[in-house]
Amino acid sequence: MIKGITHVSAIASGAEFDRVSSLFSALGFEQGKGWQDAQGRGAAFLAPIGNLEFVTGREPAVPTVLVEVTQLDHMRSLVEKWLLASYRTEEIPEILSAAELTHWNSRLFTVQITTELRIGFWQSENPLHGQPEAVEGDLSAAGMRFAVVTTRWNTVITDRLLQGSLDALHRSGAARADIEIVRVPGAWEVPSAARTLAESKRFDAIITLGCLLRGETAHYEAIYNEVARGIGQSQQETGVPHAFGVLTCETLEQALDRAGLKAGNKGFEAASAAIEMVSIQRKLAAQNGQGKK
C-alpha cells in the first residue's frame, strides 16, 4: 500500500540549504523529520496533499517542484519579503517572477531559490478545484408523497405558511393527489400527528407548520421546546424527513413578516427542505444498493 510521496532536491551548499529551509518555514509548511550525518543533512517539509506527475513528448513548462496554494498573491508577498532579507532589491525581478495566467486555467509565479532549485507556486482559477464531491438533493418533487401538518390556532399565520408550502410543492412538480393536509388544534399537537403520519409509511416527508407567539402564551418556551423535541424525535425514530416550519415569534407582526410579508415564507422554505431531503435519502439509498425503482 502506498503511504506517501517524497520529492528530494539536492542543494549545493549549507548556506543555501539553511536559506531554503527558512523560506519553507516562513511559508507555513509543517516541518517533518530531518536528518544529519557526516556526509550531509536533510530537512523535510510536509504538505496536506502530494502528487507525482510524469510527462513525455515535451519538456515540462513548469518547475519540477510545484506548490498549490489558496492565496497566491499573499504567498508571493511572503516570498518577496523573504527575498528582501537576503537579496538586493534590483536582483529580485530576476529571481521572482510575476503571477501570470497559464494555459491550464491557473495563475503561477516562480522563484529561483538556488542555481539548482526553482519552485513554482500556483492557484487554480476554478473555484471548485479540489473541492470534495458532495451528495446534494434536487428540487424535483415529482413522484414524492408529502403530509403537511398545520394548526387551526393562529390561522392568520398558519394559512399563509400552508399556502407557501403548497406553492413550493406544486412548483416543484408534486401532484395534488400526493399531498395530504392534516389540521390539528395547535402547535402542541403537531408532533403527535406528524409521528402518526410518519409511522404509516405512506409519505416520503412530513412538513410541520405552526405559530407560537410569546405575547399570547405564558408557557411559550415550554411548549416550543416540547414541540421541537417531539418533531425531531419523530424524524429520528421513523427515518422519515420532517421539515420544521413552526414559527416562534415575539409578536404577530414578526410572524406575519416570516409568513410572506417581508422575510420570505417559512412554509415555502420548509417544503423546499422536505423535497431536498427526500431526494438526498433516495440518492444515499441508491448508493447503498437500496434505491427505489
The verdict on whether residue 258 carries a ligand-binding annotation is yes
- The three grid cell numbers given for residue 94, joined into one nine-digit string: 530576476
Alpha carbon distance 157, 242 (integer Å): 20
The verdict on whether residue 46 carries a ligand-binding annotation is no
- The three grid cell numbers given for residue 127, joined into one nine-digit string: 473555484
The reply to whether 219 belongs to the active site is yes
Q: Which member of 7, 103, 170, 219 is catalytic?
A: 219
Beta strands in 16-165 (DSSP E): 30-31, 35-36, 41-42, 45-46, 65-68, 100-101, 106-112, 118-124, 146-151
- The three grid cell numbers given for residue 62, joined into one nine-digit string: 513548469
- Strands 65-68 and 45-46, by their bridges, are unpaired
The verdict on whether residue 45 carries a ligand-binding annotation is no
Alpha carbon distance 14, 100 (integer Å): 32
The verdict on whether residue 17 carries a ligand-binding annotation is no
The verdict on whether residue 153 carries a ligand-binding annotation is yes
Contacts of 20 (CB under 8 A, 6+ apart): 11, 113, 114, 117
- Strands 65-68 and 205-213, by their bridges, are unpaired
The verdict on whether residue 212 carries a ligand-binding annotation is yes
Other C-beta atoms lying within 10 Å of the C-beta of residue 82? 19
The verdict on whether residue 247 carries a ligand-binding annotation is no
The verdict on whether residue 78 carries a ligand-binding annotation is no
The verdict on whether residue 82 carries a ligand-binding annotation is no
The verdict on whether residue 244 carries a ligand-binding annotation is yes
Contacts of 174 (CB under 8 A, 6+ apart): 141, 142, 144, 146, 275
Alpha carbon distance 248, 82 (integer Å): 56
Active site residues: 219
Residues annotated within a binding site for 5-amino-6-(D-ribitylamino)uracil = 153, 187-189, 211-213, 244
Residues annotated within a binding site = 153, 187-189, 211-213, 216-217, 244, 258
